[in-house]
Amino acid sequence: MCCAAALVLDKAQAGALDHCLAGHVSAEPAHPRLLESLGKEPVVNLRMRLGEGTGAAIALGILRGAVAAHNGMATFAAAGVDARE
């Protein structure tokens, strides 16, 4: 249901969803088509049809982990890596 509303917004205001991510793709037949119309690739595809934001909750954990890994990564200089090697 959320993607159907998002598609209406996308058609009414181009670029309104540029900052948005698709958490997951449902096993329901219309959902992949909605995401395709929105131009969004889901973070996960676990073939769930539970609803209640379960895919988004899983995707959020993955995204938080990715951000933590990125922010905690040392630069080559800080790690003492010579870029010429």
- Rounded Cα distance, 46 and 77, in Å: 39
Note whether 27 and 49 are within 8 A (CB).
yes
Residue 52 known to be catalytic = yes
Q: Which position among 28, 36, 52, 85 bears the catalytic label?
A: 52
Annotated active-site positions, please? 52
